[in-house]
């Protein structure tokens, strides 16, 4: 049984906010939202990141000890998708790394965020977690030193790149509009935001 988080209030807030952003993204991807709903969703997403930024300033990285496992994963998901605030995302990357060293985050989470920051900065990713939807379907974004990719992936708890890509392509074939919006709290490395994709 998991211990009760120290801050249930923060846990509930993170979980609620992440779920609202996921719902907004699902509706937006499927083209189901009005212009007004899109504007509200974008505002909520921005506010959600600012709330997480305040939590980080007050408590450091909100790991399982502070907010529980699910809310810690929600915090990571929010940071992972904060591409519109690159300075915040880079600061979160440093905090996730420090938290991973204390067991309050995972190296898998750090690797995803590391790759996301690299791609956002115009560099090749290290762990092959970011994908795009290209003419031939889902494809990984550029990776540095591809010959050693699976070695690096294993070091952070990710399965081989070919296996992850096969799983992601299979999921996308089943649900092209929803593949990027599966439960991104999953413990594997096959989540994606197609267009610019996290997997």
The partner residues of 139 in beta bridges, in order of sequence, read 132
pLDDT at 199: 44
Average pLDDT of span 26-41: 90
The answer to whether position 114 is within a domain reads no
Query: Which residue range is the domain that position 86 belongs to?
Result: 8-105
CA dist., res. 81 & res. 124, Å (int): 18
Kindly indicate the confidence band of residue 195, based on its pLDDT and cuts at 50, 70 and 90.
Answer: very low
Number of domains in the chain: 2
Average pLDDT of span 24-33: 87
Secondary structure element (H or E) that encloses residue 139, with its range: strand 137-140
pLDDT at 2: 60
Tokens 């049984």 sit on residue? 1
Same structural domain, 13 and 83: yes
Same structural domain, 13 and 66: yes
Same structural domain, 101 and 21: yes
Q: What is the 3-state secondary structure (H, E, C) of 81-105?
A: CCCCCHHHHHHHHHHHHHHHHCCCC
pLDDT digits (tens, 9 = 90+) for 52-94: 999 999 999 999 999 999 999 999 999 999 998 999 999 999 9
Dihedral sign for Cα 137, 141, 142, 143, please: negative
Tokens found for residue 80: 């992972």
Tokens 């990141």 sit on residue? 49
The answer to whether position 150 is within a domain reads yes
Tokens 């988080």 sit on residue? 5
């Amino acid at each position: 049984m998991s211990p009760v988080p120290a801050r249930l209030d923060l846990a509930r807030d993170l979980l609620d906010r992440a779920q609202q952003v996921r719902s907004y993204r699902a509706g937006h991807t499927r083209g189901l939202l009005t212009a007004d709903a899109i504007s509200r969703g974008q505002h909520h997403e921005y506010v959600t990141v600012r709330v997480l930024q305040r939590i980080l300033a007050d408590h450091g990285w909100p790991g399982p000890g502070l907010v529980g496992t699910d809310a810690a994963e929600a915090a990571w998901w929010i940071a992972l998708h904060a591409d519109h605030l690159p300075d915040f995302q880079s600061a979160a990357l440093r905090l996730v790394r420090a938290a991973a060293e204390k067991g309050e985050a995972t190296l898998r989470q750090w690797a995803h965020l590391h790759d996301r920051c690299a791609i956002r900065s115009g560099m090749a990713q290290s762990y092959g977690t970011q994908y795009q939807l290209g003419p031939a379907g889902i494809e990984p974004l550029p990776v540095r030193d591809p010959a050693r990719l699976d070695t690096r992936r294993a070091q952070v708890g990710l399965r081989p790149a070919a296996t992850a890509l096969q799983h992601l392509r299979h999921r996308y074939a089943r649900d092209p509009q929803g593949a990027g919006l599966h439960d991104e709290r999953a413990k594997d490395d096959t989540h994606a935001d197609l267009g610019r994709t996290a997997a």
